[in-house]
Amino acid sequence: MSRLDRCLSIPDLEREARRILPRCVEGYVCGGTEDGASLAASTAAFGQIGFLPRGLRVVEQRSSQVEVFGQRYALPVGFAPTGFAAIVMEECDLALARAAKDANIPFIISGASSVPLERLQAETGNHCWYQAYLPGDTDRIGRLLARLQAAHIDVLVVTIDTCVGANRENLQRLAFTVPFKLSASVMLDGLLHPRWTFDVFLRTLRGSGVPRFANLYEEIGPPITQDPPNGFRGGRDRLSWEHIRWIRARWPGKLILKGVMHPEDARLAHAAGADGVIVSSHGGRQLDGCVAPLQALPGVVAAVPAGFPVMLDGGVRRGTDALKAIALGARMVFTGRPQLYGAAVGGAHGIRKVVDIFRNEIATDMALLGCATLAEITPDLVVPQAPACSRPSGGTP
Ligand SMILES: Cc1cc2nc3c(=O)[nH]c(=O)nc-3n(C[C@H](O)[C@H](O)[C@H](O)COP(=O)(O)O)c2cc1C
């Protein structure tokens, strides 16, 4: 039985991925900022909500389909944007996009990804959404929008929680930097993890070369070992609601803001003409001490008109987590780390396994909850429960 076959759940995949990945890569993927409080809160919050299931409801014919922005997707789970995924698997962005297309779930290309977005779109029949890390500079934003339109991107996701780089103490300890530097300790780390060194590092160098900042701005940028023009984070601290209104006036596609936690920001997003929001604390990788996205969700839902798509990411590791978020008003959820764990353990097969796990868990758990459709998952089916029931998080290595 392969390592992948032995994994029955996302926590199993996480455990296995942590064994395979060098410590610095594990720290980048699994870690959070400062004390890891936001990271721990995001998973623990799902344990602080419990179900009140209904019985004797006919659930023979179940559908987990969800409609978002005029598209019908097979599952209420999509792949959140994850930058530098190439350090987990060669051309990981491509494998993620293909798996999402085949499973008919949304995939959001990260602004910090390495396979050109034009290729991802061509390989998936224009299936992808795009996430932008925007500088507060309308000229540069305008040139990026032109590239996205030429590539037939219909959904633009603007991340609003990264105005500056966060305090990633764990990465400093592990000598992991952006741009990527091959320090002596990183090399030793690689030598101690030969499977990763052969399957990811050397295969990538031989196959596609050093990954690049392919999708940050209007053109393909330098290798991830060099700073892109204007710096990786240049000018993001000038981005404001003015820029969102400027984009709205020019961007014909759907516009989503990611990283909305405060109800007032949700209201402003709606007023600025956004088509939806993603409640997110960036997987606990930005401001430490944020409440869990699941805890922020009801306030955001209450601040916008009924039917306005509110989505969520952060700590979703089980089908039941997705169902709890939906009960509290989320249209759907996204995952960040789970598909990277799948990629680390089993490459493209591992990513597909992640989707299979969520599909199977959701199908079973909907039946056990007494719901044949997502619309039947209503707030009365969940109640708060004692923190003692909260699930431990993976923690910051
Ligand atoms: C390795 C990694 C890279 C990420 N890169 C990005 C990114 O480029 N853009 C972005 O908006 N969010 C990024 N995120 C945050 C995710 O989109 C998402 O908000 C978060 O991972 C959800 O939490 P989860 O990992 O617990 O599912 C990244 C997260 C991880 C784990």
pLDDT beneath 70, residues of the chain: 388-397
Q: What is d(CA 234, CA 164) in angstroms, rounded to the nearest whole number?
A: 9
Question: Where along the chain do its domains lie?
Answer: 3-377
Catalytic residues: 282
pLDDT at 391: 61
Tell the CATH superfamily of the 3-377 domain. Answer: Aldolase class I (3.20.20.70)
| CA neighbor of 155 nearest in space, from 320, 304, 23, 334 | 334
DSSP codes of every residue in 205-252? HHHT-S-B--SSSSS---BTTSPPTT-SSTTGGG--HHHHHHHHHH--
The protein residue whose alpha carbon is closest to atom 29 in ligand 1 is 82
Report the first-to-last Cα separation within the chain, whole angstroms.
28
Evaluate the CA torsion angle 381, 320, 34, 81 in order and state its sign.
negative
The protein residue whose alpha carbon is closest to atom 30 in ligand 1 is 82
pLDDT at 336: 99
From the CB of 283, is ligand 1 less than 6 Å away? Answer: yes
pLDDT at 394: 45
pLDDT at 229: 83
From the CB of 316, is ligand 1 less than 6 Å away? Answer: yes
